[in-house]
């Protein structure tokens, strides 16, 4: 038998033998699609979350959204042993709210808050886990106790007392940290998380009565040692994120490296790099069940260039001196990134980002970056939340 005859016989044989005989039936591998497992006699459909859900009526399903269609191949014994199941949540009422133009996908906020509430590790461990969201549904596949936590977050979005909150942000640069002198006893400290190797945060936070806040801000406005850098009052849908950035109009430039210029063949020339100096704030408040307080996810970053240190380097050049001047920027940076729980709506949240020498102030010296500028400048962020009564009326009318 020549090679051509053998090849033709093999092709004919492959077309006549069934798929099961060739070892391509998925049932022979031990893994079953979820829909096939549901049809298997003796297997409880509720094990896959298909059927009456214990979390109803908060959980709703829509036509054509059978979760079994999205379940990867998994042995039934593994599902039974781990107690895995589906939770399907109707979030269409929330995504239909009047979100800002910058919010392209409001459903993303639910995913972020589920991670904050449950931790992200359990979604990337040994258990089979699914967490996804569309504009109409939040879908989760996990153990029963994890689905219950997802349900808690879901209700805080869809059943909130207010749909819209108003966040007032004031950013203050204080040259003198002694503003604490006569108000410190009236500040209620907020416990922040740890930093680095278990040490305390360099930042501080307090809850303040609104009357004390206004007294403090009035005192600051009369002193040249304080500067109100930014004040903004923005509506924000419950659970979404307000982003704010303020800083110098132009970045701080410095000569940070060398580049060989091939156009004029004169050797290396200094490159001009830049550092953006300023404050970036991301704040996401999520109402708690009682409607009187929120959990605030805050990400506060502040960067300031204290000065530029001059140094000299030797480089090969065909034209000009062999020594060139470069700058080494001295930068101070502060970041607070965590969730502050149970912030009452009737109190101000005051955050100190720590000492950032000369931030938003005249640093003095040549090019406004030399010696002699303020060395104790403290960055303060003052936050106030107000409920939107109109959104509360809309919520009450829907019920």
Residues 241 and 355 occupy one common structural domain: yes
The answer to whether the CB of 26 falls within 8 A of the CB of 20 is: no
Residues 193 and 335 occupy one common structural domain: yes
Mean pLDDT, to the nearest integer, of 48-58?
A: 40
Q: E strands within the chain?
A: 84-90, 130-133, 137-143, 164-174, 188-189, 194-195, 199-200, 204-208, 226-237, 242-247, 252-261, 267-275, 278-287, 293-314, 323-344, 348-355, 378-387
User: Does 7 reside within a domain?
Assistant: no
The answer to whether the CB of 113 falls within 8 A of the CB of 240 is: no
Residues 228 and 277 occupy one common structural domain: yes
pLDDT averaged over every residue in the chain: 77
Residues 268 and 363 occupy one common structural domain: yes
CA distance 161 to 246: 32
| SS3 state of residue 330 | strand
Measure the CA dihedral 89/92/94/100, to 10°. Answer: 140
305 has pLDDT over 60: yes
Q: What does the pLDDT read at residue 314?
A: 86
Residues 188 and 168 occupy one common structural domain: yes
The answer to whether the CB of 164 falls within 8 A of the CB of 155 is: no
CA distance 8 to 312: 78
Angstrom CA distances, 210 to 121, 191, 250, 285, 342, stand at 39, 20, 35, 19, 17
From its phi and psi, is residue 7 left (phi > 0), alpha (psi between -120 and 50) or beta? alpha
pLDDT digits 0-9 by tens, 257-276: 888 765 555 677 788 999 98
Q: What does the pLDDT read at residue 193?
A: 77
The pLDDT-based confidence of 45 (bands split at 50, 70, 90) is very low
CA distance 370 to 375: 12
Percent of the chain at pLDDT > 70 equals: 68
Residues 338 and 312 occupy one common structural domain: yes
Select from 111, 141, 158 the last residue of a domain: 158
User: Does 394 reside within a domain?
Assistant: yes
List phi, psi (to 5°) of 187: -95, 130
The answer to whether the CB of 167 falls within 8 A of the CB of 234 is: yes
104 has pLDDT over 50: yes
Domain count, the chain: 2
Select from 123, 141, 158 the last residue of a domain: 158
Residues 281 and 189 occupy one common structural domain: yes
Mean pLDDT, to the nearest integer, of 142-163?
A: 94
Residues 60 and 129 occupy one common structural domain: yes
Q: What does the pLDDT read at residue 198?
A: 56
Cα torsion angle, 100, 101, 102, 108, sign: positive
User: Does 38 reside within a domain?
Assistant: yes
Q: What does the pLDDT read at residue 27?
A: 34
Alpha carbon 8 to its chain's center: 61
By residue range, what is the domain housing residue 90?
20-158
Angstrom CA distances, 64 to 38, 85, 334, stand at 17, 18, 49
Q: Which residue has the tokens 């919520």?
A: 395
User: Does 3 reside within a domain?
Assistant: no
Select from 113, 136, 158 the last residue of a domain: 158
User: Does 343 reside within a domain?
Assistant: yes
The pLDDT-based confidence of 135 (bands split at 50, 70, 90) is very high
User: Does 44 reside within a domain?
Assistant: yes
Of the ranges 43-47, 103-107, 148-152, 224-228, which one carries the lowest mean pLDDT score? 43-47
150 has pLDDT over 90: yes
User: Does 42 reside within a domain?
Assistant: yes
More confident residue, 53 or 214: 214
Largest distance between two CA atoms of the chain? 104
59 has pLDDT over 80: no
The pLDDT-based confidence of 371 (bands split at 50, 70, 90) is very low
CA distance 178 to 333: 22
The pLDDT-based confidence of 322 (bands split at 50, 70, 90) is confident
User: Does 308 reside within a domain?
Assistant: yes
Residues 235 and 176 occupy one common structural domain: yes
pLDDT digits 0-9 by tens, 181-213: 889 999 999 998 776 555 567 899 999 999 999
| SS3 state of residue 377 | coil
pLDDT digits 0-9 by tens, 9-40: 444 444 433 433 333 333 332 223 333 333 43
117 has pLDDT over 80: yes
Alpha carbon 194 to its chain's center: 18
Record the tokens describing residue 342, joined without a space.
Answer: 């149970």
Residues 108 and 211 occupy one common structural domain: no
367 has pLDDT over 80: no
Residue 34's Cβ-count burial label (10 Å; 0-12, 13-18, 19+) is buried
292 has pLDDT over 80: yes
Residues 316 and 253 occupy one common structural domain: yes
Return the ∠ at Cα 35 (arms to 29 and 36), rounded to 5°.
45
Of the ranges 18-32, 102-116, 134-148, 246-260, which one carries the lowest mean pLDDT score? 18-32
Q: What does the pLDDT read at residue 31?
A: 26
More confident residue, 60 or 152: 152
Residues 367 and 338 occupy one common structural domain: yes
CA distance 164 to 142: 31
pLDDT digits 0-9 by tens, 337-348: 999 999 999 999
* Rg of the chain taking only CA atoms, in angstroms: 30
Q: Which helix (H) or strand (E) holds 221?
A: helix 210-221
Measure the CA dihedral 205/211/213/214, to 10°. Answer: 170
| SS3 state of residue 388 | coil
């Amino acid at each position: 038998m020549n090679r051509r005859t053998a090849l033709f016989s093999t092709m004919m044989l492959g077309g006549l033998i069934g798929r099961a005989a060739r070892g391509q039936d998925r049932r022979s591998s031990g893994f079953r699609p979820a829909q096939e497992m549901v049809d298997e006699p003796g297997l409880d459909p509720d094990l896959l979350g298909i059927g009456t859900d214990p979390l109803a009526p908060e959980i709703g399903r829509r036509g054509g959204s059978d979760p079994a269609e999205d379940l990867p191949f998994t042995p039934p014994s593994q599902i039974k042993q781990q107690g895995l199941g589906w939770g399907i949540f109707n979030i269409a009422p929330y995504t239909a709210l009047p979100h800002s133009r910058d919010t392209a996908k409001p459903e993303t906020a639910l995913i972020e808050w589920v991670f904050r509430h449950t931790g992200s590790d359990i979604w990337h461990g040994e258990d089979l886990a699914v967490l996804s969201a569309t504009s109409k549904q939040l879908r989760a596949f996990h153990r029963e106790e994890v689905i219950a936590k997802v349900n808690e977050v879901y209700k805080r979005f869809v059943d909130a007392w207010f749909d819209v909150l108003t966040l007032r942000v004031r950013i203050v640069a204080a040259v003198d940290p002694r503003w604490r002198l006569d108000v410190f006893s009236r500040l209620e400290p907020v416990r922040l998380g740890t930093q680095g190797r278990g040490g305390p945060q360099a930042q501080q936070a307090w809850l303040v009565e609104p009357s004390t806040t206004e007294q403090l801000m009035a005192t600051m406005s009369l002193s040249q040692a304080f500067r109100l850098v930014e004040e903004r009052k923005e509506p924000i849908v419950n659970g979404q994120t307000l982003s704010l950035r303020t800083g110098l109009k132009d970045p701080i430039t410095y000569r940070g490296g060398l580049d060989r210029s091939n156009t004029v063949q004169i050797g290396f020339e200094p490159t001009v790099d830049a550092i953006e100096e300023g404050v970036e704030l991301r704040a996401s408040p999520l109402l708690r069940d009682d409607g009187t307080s929120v959990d605030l996810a805050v990400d506060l970053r502040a960067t300031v260039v204290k000065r530029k240190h001059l140094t000299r380097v030797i480089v090969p050049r065909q034209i000009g001196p062999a020594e060139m001047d470069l700058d080494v920027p001295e930068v101070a940076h502060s970041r607070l990134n965590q969730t502050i729980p149970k912030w009452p709506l009737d109190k101000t949240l005051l955050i100190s980002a720590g000492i950032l020498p000369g931030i938003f102030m005249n640093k003095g010296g040549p090019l406004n970056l030399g010696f002699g500028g303020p060395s104790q400048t403290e960055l303060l962020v003052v936050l106030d939340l107000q409920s939107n009564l109109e959104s509360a009326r809309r919520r009450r009318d829907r019920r």
